[in-house]
Amino acid sequence: MGNTFFLHPSLLFFVVLPVIPWLKGIWRQAVVLLVPLLAFTLVLGMHPGIYGTVNINGLSLVFGRVDKLALVFANVFALMSFIGAIYGLHVKEPWQQVAAMGYVGSALGCVFAGDFLTLFLFWEGLMVFSSALVFLRKTRSSSRAGYRYFLVHVAGGLLLLGGIFLHYHQSGSIAFVRFDQESAGLAQYLILAGFLLNAAVPPLHAWLPDAYGSATVVGSVFMCAYTTKTAVYALIRSFPGFEILIVLGVIMALYGVVYAVLENDARRLLSYHIISQVGYMVTGVGIGTALSLNGACAHAYAHILYKALLFMGVGGVLEVTGRSRFSELGGLWKYMPYTFVFTLIGGLSISAFPLFSGFVSKSMVISGAWASHLQWAALGLTLASAGTFLHTGLKVPYFIWFWRDEPSFSPPEKEAPLNMLIAMALASYYCILIGINPSGLYKMLPFDATYHPYSGAHVMASLQILLFTMLGFFLLIKKLYPEPKVGLDLDWFYRRGASWFMAFCRNVLRMLDEQVIKNLHKTLALPLLRGLARLSAWNDERVIDGFVDNSAAAVLRLGDHMRVFLQPGILSRYVARTLTVLAGIILLALYLR
C-alpha cells in the first residue's frame, strides 16, 4: 500500500449518478463539467503505486494500481470525459448524462484495476452504461440495436469470466498481469476472446457499427472513446507479443476500410474506421516490442480525440438536419462552416496527415512492424492508411458539405449548438497540438523507446501516399457516389438466425403445443393428476386422519382413566394411593440397587 493519498477518480463519477437527475439547468451543467475536471486533476497528480487493496476470503482485490501504462489511458479518458461533457451540455434529458458518467467511471475502474475480478466488475459496468446510451435514443431501430449490443457483450463477459475462473483454478491467482504466450492455455485464450470482442476484432465486430450508428448523438461520441480503447489497454497489459494479434490487427485495419467503401451512413462509416484504427493498436500489441507498444498507446490516445471529433462533427450535422446518410446530404458548407472545419481536422488527423495527431502515433506501429521485419504487416497497415484518407479524410467532408450546390432538403437555419462547437474546437486543438509537438504525448508513454516522426523520409513518403490517394479519389469520384443501400455484415447471421428462431417458435413450437402437448395433457396428464388427487384424498382421509383421530381418542381415554385413578375425590383413597406409589418407588430403588 502506497503512503501517498489516493482518491479513485471513478468514485467522483459514481457518486454523482443519483444526484444528476434531481439537478436542473445550470446546476446540472456545473456538476457535469466539474466532475471530469476534478478527475483529470486527480489523474495528473497521481504517483505510481498500489492503492485501494481489499482482502476478501484470501483474494486480494486491487482497485488502484497506478503505473505509466494506466496513467496514459486514464489521462485521455478523463480529458475526453470533459470534452464529451461540454458536447452534451445542451441535452435536457438527464439520463444520457447519467449513463455517460457511469460509462467513464467504469472505464477508469478498468484502467486502475490490479486484478481480474475488479476488472470484470467495471468491465460489466461498461456494458450496462453503454447499452443505455443506445436505448436512450428511443427509436425502434435503436432499441433493437441496443438489445443486440447487450446480448453480444453479455456473451463476451461470460467468456472473460470463464477464463478468469479457469485461470484462478490453475494458478491460484487473479492478478491482472502479463501472460506468457508459450504457456497460455484455454483459460488465457478465453480471457483473450473476451478482450477481443470488446476490441471489435472480426468476426466479433459487427456490434460496433450496429450500436454506434444507432446511439444518441452524444452517446456515440462517448462510445467511440471507451469500450474499444479499454480493451486495447487490457490487451497491452496481459497479451503483448501474442503473434495471433498481428494477423488479427492487420485484418481489422483492412476490413474496416473495405466496409467503409460500402457504407452510406456517416456514423456507421466512422464506426468501421474505428475497427480499422483499433487494428493498428492490436497489431502493435501483437508485435510486442517497446516501440510498437508505445505506438499502440500513443495511437489509442490520439484516436480517442480525433475519432470523437469526427463523431462530434457528424453528430452536429445529425442534430441540426436530422440526417446522417451521405445520399441525403451535401451542400452544407455555406450553412455549417465551423462544423466543416472541425470535421476536416478530424479527417486529416485520422489520415495521418503531417502536423496532425495521427501522423505521430500511427507511424510508430508501422515503424515497429518494419523494425521487427514484418514487412507484410507494415505494407497492410500502410494500405489501410491510404484507404482511411480516401474515405474519412475525403469522402466524409466531401459528401456532407460539397457534391451538391444546395442541400436536397430545406437548408439549416443555424450552426450546431455553441457547446458542440466549443467541444469540437477543444478536440481540434489537441489534434493539432499533438501533431505539432508530440513530445508531451511521448513523455507519457510507458515503455522505453525513442521515436522521431518528422524525419524527411517519413514526411515525404506520407505525403506521396496521401496525394496519390487524393488524386485517385477525384479521378474515381463518380464510382464513390453514395447510394441509399444498407450494407450487410456478419451480424446478418445472428440477425437472421434470431428471426429464424422466432419463426420456429411461432410456427413449429406453437403447433406442437396446440396439437401434441395439449392432447397429451388431456389424455394422459389430466387423468393421471386426477388419479393422484383421489389417492391423496383417500390417504389423507383414511390413513392420516384415521391415525391422528384414533391417536387423539386413545389419549383422551387414557386421560379419563388417569383422572379417575389420581383424582378419586376421597381423602383416604388419596393417602392410600400415594403411599402405594411411594412404596413401589422404594421397592424399585432397592431392587435396582
For the chain, the distance separating the N- and C-terminal CA atoms, rounded to the nearest angstrom, is 74
Tens digit of each residue's pLDDT (9 = 90 or more) over 355-381: 999 999 999 999 999 999 999 999 999
Rounded CA gap, 91 and 217, in Å? Answer: 10
pLDDT score for 421:
96
Residue 41 has which C-alpha cell?
A: 486533476
Q: Nearest to residue 391, comparing CAs of 485, 295, 277, 490?
A: 277
For a pLDDT cut of 70, what percent of the chain falls above it?
A: 95
Which domain-ending residue is among 485, 508, 543? 485
Which domain-ending residue is among 212, 235, 258? 235
Do 228 and 274 lie in one domain? The reply is no
**Beta carbons of 216 and 208 less than 8 angstroms apart:** no
Do 144 and 48 lie in one domain? The reply is yes
Higher-confidence residue: 557 or 165? 165
Instruction: Over range 114-126, report the average pLDDT.
Output: 95
Residue 337 has which C-alpha cell?
A: 462552416
Do 275 and 192 lie in one domain? The reply is no
Confidence check: pLDDT of 1 > 50: no
Residue 384 has which C-alpha cell?
A: 489501410
Residue 409 has which C-alpha cell?
A: 432538403
Give CA 25 to chain center in angstroms.
30
Q: Nearest to residue 152, comparing CAs of 488, 493, 487?
A: 493
Q: Nearest to residue 487, comparing CAs of 263, 204, 260?
A: 263
Is 211 a member of any domain? yes
Where is average pLDDT lowest: 138-152, 211-225, 409-423, 516-530? 516-530
User: CB-based contacts of 509: which residues, under 8 Å, 6+ apart?
Assistant: none
Do 246 and 229 lie in one domain? The reply is no
Do 291 and 159 lie in one domain? The reply is no
Number of domains in the chain: 3
pLDDT score for 107:
97
pTM value?
0.84
Is 531 a member of any domain? yes
Instruction: Over range 450-458, report the average pLDDT.
Output: 90
Helix (H) / strand (E) element for 49: namely strand 49-56
pLDDT score for 574:
67
pLDDT band at 2 (very low <50, low <70, confident <90, very high): very low
Domain range for 229 is 1-235
Which domain-ending residue is among 465, 485, 505? 485
Do 223 and 274 lie in one domain? The reply is no
Q: Nearest to residue 465, comparing CAs of 558, 354, 576?
A: 354
pLDDT score for 568:
62
Higher-confidence residue: 202 or 502? 202
Grid cell 496513467 in the structure block, residue:
71
pLDDT band at 485 (very low <50, low <70, confident <90, very high): confident
Helix (H) / strand (E) element for 426: namely helix 418-436
Instruction: Provide the 3-class DSSP secondary structure of residue 52.
Output: strand
Distances (CA, A) of 59 to 64, 75, 165, 339, 353: 15, 29, 13, 51, 49
Do 452 and 528 lie in one domain? The reply is no
Other beta carbons within 10 angstroms of residue 407's beta carbon come to 18
Is 119 a member of any domain? yes
Is 189 a member of any domain? yes
Is 592 a member of any domain? no
**Beta carbons of 241 and 181 less than 8 angstroms apart:** yes
Where is average pLDDT lowest: 192-196, 335-339, 538-542? 538-542
Instruction: Provide the 3-class DSSP secondary structure of residue 60.
Output: strand
Do 253 and 138 lie in one domain? The reply is no
Do 151 and 207 lie in one domain? The reply is yes
Helix (H) / strand (E) element for 59: namely strand 59-66
Confidence check: pLDDT of 286 > 90: yes
Do 207 and 270 lie in one domain? The reply is no
Confidence check: pLDDT of 321 > 50: yes
Do 345 and 447 lie in one domain? The reply is yes
Instruction: Over range 342-346, report the average pLDDT.
Output: 94
DSSP 429-479: HHHHHHHH-THHHHHH-SS--------HHHHHHHHHHHHHHHHHHHHSGGG
